[in-house]
Amino acid sequence: MALAKETILLESKSIANLANLLDNSFVEAVKFILSANGRVIVTGIGKSANIATKIVATFNSTGTPAVFMHAGDAIHGDLGNVQENDVVICISKSGNTPEIKVLAPLIKNYKNKIIAITGNPDSFLGKNADFVLNTYVEKEACPNNLAPTTSTTAQLVMGDALAVCLLELKGFTSKDFAKYHPGGALGKRLYLRVSDLIKNNEQPKVIATDKVTKVIIEISEKRLGVTAVVDKDNKIVGIITDGDIRRMLSKTTKIDELTAAEIMSKNPKTIDVDAMAVDALDTLENNSITQILVTNKTKSYVGVVHLHDLIKEGIF
């Protein structure tokens, strides 16, 4: 455990030091990517190549078109990936690996700009790059100071810094994020609406003068544990839950003459059918309830959202 703590502390210290290494070259690199008409090509060799693939994924998911190009493959045919207006980010701790030393001049010959992410600004890559992002680390977390650990973490964080600055300058919003993340719970939190949740649900409802026996049947048949109480214009005047039924039965068994109006709760919580599903979840959680009635723009009753609907969609 001591070694694990030492590793974490060492890497966190190195990451914190990156803030001290930032200079105007970072600013100019961001501005250039922002103004470029092409894509961002991210390349590297070894562990730096693995980091490059993650940076590409982050760029693509935050509105900056990017492509991964392995540095080894690039000098054996894949250099054709680089188009006229593309920007190339080369990642290398030493900046002096054989593949990078071959690749950098070729990229320069094509007149593409190079952004170097390197721990050695005085390296071959650093001297041949148009912009240098310094990711120097004092030592690797590896006890032998050999396995890329701290250095690759620093590269990853620098890539994240680029991506976050770019998305902010582009005005990238949660709606844009949802467009690029339509799958999974994350995407659903950003695009799923109440209307999507209720489309397959029943719409339990009674009127205020209905007998309690009818209320019990409505709640049982619709299987949502609740029924709306509406007026002749389908406007909500109250709500009755299965909990209300249990509480009523604990007080009296003479239910033949009781009406919905006598046991309903007035002014129940409601949500608009076009609201986001996460807003429905917030309302349920903040009010410690498991169902909420849904209305449309005219405030007419249109259905029920149950907590189980949110669980089923993976939002809860």
Binding residues: 70
Cα–Cα separations (whole angstroms), residue 313 to 31, 197, 200, 284, 291 = 40, 9, 13, 15, 15
Element (H, E) at 273: none
Binding residues for Zn(2+): 70
What angle, rounded to 10 degrees, do the helices at 212-222 and 242-251 form? Answer: 140
**Segment (H or E) for 305:** strand 301-306
The label of the residue with tokens 């001049």 reads 105
Helical axes 47-61 vs 150-169, angle rounded to 10°:
20
Question: Which residues does 115 contact at the CB level (< 8 Å), separation at least 6?
Answer: 29, 32, 33, 87, 88, 89, 90, 129, 130, 131, 132, 133
